[in-house]
Chains A and B, each alone.
Chain A
Amino acid sequence: MKKLLELVLKMGGTGYQPVFGGNLPPKIATSQRPVPSKGHFQSLPLGRRSVLRALTGALAGALTLSLSRKAKAAVQKMLVSSHTPKGYDPTKHKWLMAIDVDRCIGCGLCVEACKTENAVPVGPNYFRTWIERYVITRPEPGSGEMRGETLVDSPNGGMHGFPPSLVPKEQILKSFYVPKLCNLCEHSPCSQVCPVGATFDTPDGAVLVDPKYCIGCGFCIQACPYGCRFMNPVTKTAEKCSLCYHRITRGLKPACVEVCPTEARVFGDLKNPVANDPIHRFIEKNKAAQSLKPHLGTAPRVLYAELDKEVR
């Protein structure tokens, strides 16, 4: 081992001084080392005049920089109205919505509350959240299937409740309601396709639309695999569930969670757990909670408990 080390030192190092002895190359004499000549220092421009000139230049540069910053701020003020920062730090929160399918009774209060709270246009095509009714029929006798057809309907998003199902009760194998909303994807396809950076993932877990920057191209509406976006017919900008960002930043629950009479919708902050927190209770209780279309790689964060495999 020692021989090998010596060999390496002989081959490579000339200026290297090993701490241990042995057959090593001699130390290089100090006189052989390159020493900068005196003339090298004398040629440096360190006269009074040159120093003054350099200082003046630096001062002028700093002055120009500060002036340009002031000018930039003035231009910014003209272009975009700035808001005073409020006492909410998005990096200190991580919001999550979870849904217990077994607790949803399909009353539609959430849909109505969402429309009222967020001034979503009236009409059967504009929803930030909606409820779907799934009806799975019994299989045809002798078909050898476990289940029959899966029928899904959502009259007016379930906003005014649901009329009785057209399938007679005897033919229904299973029936349930599924509330839908933005799935708060970790890798949101909608914000990836936005050409102007008008839609984005916030540090606190929401996916928002900046209506001032949205050009209404509709790419995001095509990109969302959950159909959670629509074009606002009034503003002509893309719109979606904002997780009631104006409410959660004020310490309120989103409107749909607020009015849900059965606690089918659960909402909470993952970064600031409090005692008996509904979201942590939900995660603890429903360890098998799933998300919708996980195979797409969008990493949806909204959790669904008691989810049937037919739900897409």
Chain B
Amino acid sequence: MRLHIPPQISRLLLLTAVIVTLYLTARYFLTPQSFGMYGWYRAVALDEIAARPTTYAGQKACDECHSEVVQRLAKYEHKTVACESCHGTGQAHAENPDVSVSKLTYSHCVRCHEADPARPKWLKQVKSKEHYTGQRCTECHVPHQPNEVP
């Protein structure tokens, strides 16, 4: 017995086949090549995100030219403070030494050392309104060697 397919059904079948083929072709061409490499996403996105520029150069870059200062700093209380914590972004300065890093002011000191009950007890804190007002911090304290008196 031969299977007889009515023409309207065979036309529908043909149309379905064409649509499915078109979809599969489009999917084949449009799916990014790196899709599915690590998961349900474009793996190239990792490279794109990793290609963004940096603004902080990192302590190693500072150490390349200013190793003397970095080594001296490591012996004192401020050893955990990175150069860029106080001196600001350094990538531009690392690429071109003519670009200077930001100037430091009094606010850099009180940013950490202003007395606050939320601050841990081990941190040395002062009430800036009562602590030698009218004098600059650096008159008595050396930021790179906080234990020493100038």
Whole-angstrom CA separation of A176 from B119 in the bound complex: 6
Per-residue B-contact encoding for A188-214, CB less than 8 Å = 1, 0 else: 000000000110111100001010110
Per-residue B-contact encoding for A233-254, CB less than 8 Å = 1, 0 else: 0000000001001110110110
B30 and A79 within 8 A (CB) = yes
B residues 47-104 in Cβ contact with A at 8 Å: 47-56, 58-60, 78, 80-82, 84-85, 89
25 A-B pairs (CB sep. < 8 Å): A72-B33, A76-B33, A79-B30, A83-B44, A85-B47, A86-B50, A105-B119, A106-B119, A116-B55, A116-B56, A117-B54, A117-B55, A117-B56, A161-B111, A197-B40, A208-B46, A213-B42, A246-B49, A246-B52, A252-B54, A258-B56, A258-B85, A259-B84, A260-B85, A261-B85
B32 and A80 within 8 A (CB) = yes
Identify the B interface with A (CB < 8 A): 28-30, 32-33, 38-42, 44-56, 58-60, 78, 80-82, 84-85, 89, 111-112, 114, 116-120, 123
Closest to A109 in B: B85
A261 and B82 within 8 A (CB) = yes
CB distance from B118 to the nearest CB of A (A): 4
Which residue of B28, B54, B116, B120 contacts A103 across the interface (Cβ within 8 Å)?
B120
B41 and A197 within 8 A (CB) = yes
Counting chain A CB atoms within 10 Å of each CB, the highest count among B32, B52, B56, B111 belongs to B56
Q: List the A side residues contacting B33 at CB < 8 Å.
A: 72-73, 76, 82
Whole-angstrom CA separation of A68 from B29 in the bound complex: 9
A75 and B42 within 8 A (CB) = no
Q: List the A side residues contacting B82 at CB < 8 Å.
A: 258-261
B123 and A83 within 8 A (CB) = no
Q: How many A-B residue pairs have CB under 8 A?
A: 146
Total contacting residues, chain A, CB less than 8 A: 63
A172 and B117 within 8 A (CB) = yes
Whole-angstrom CA separation of A217 from B54 in the bound complex: 29
Identify the A interface with B (CB < 8 A): 68, 71-73, 75-76, 79-80, 82-83, 85-86, 88, 90-91, 102-109, 113, 116-117, 133-135, 161-162, 164-165, 169, 172, 175-177, 197-198, 200-203, 208, 210, 212-213, 242, 245-247, 249-250, 252-253, 255, 258-263
What would 10 more interface pairs be, CB under 8 Å, given A117-B55, A252-B56? A104-B120, A105-B112, A105-B120, A135-B118, A162-B116, A172-B117, A202-B38, A213-B42, A246-B51, A253-B58
Whole-angstrom CA separation of A109 from B39 in the bound complex: 35
Q: A68-B28, A162-B118 are in contact. Are A261 and B112 (CB under 8 A)?
A: yes
A83 and B48 within 8 A (CB) = yes
Q: A83-B51, A109-B85 are in contact. Are A212 and B45 (CB under 8 A)?
A: yes
Whole-angstrom CA separation of A176 from B121 in the bound complex: 10
Whole-angstrom CA separation of A176 from B120 in the bound complex: 7
Q: List the A side residues contacting B60 at CB < 8 Å.
A: 252
Whole-angstrom CA separation of A1 from B4 in the bound complex: 62
Closest to B80 in A: A263
Whole-angstrom CA separation of A175 from B52 in the bound complex: 38
CB distance from B54 to the nearest CB of A (A): 6
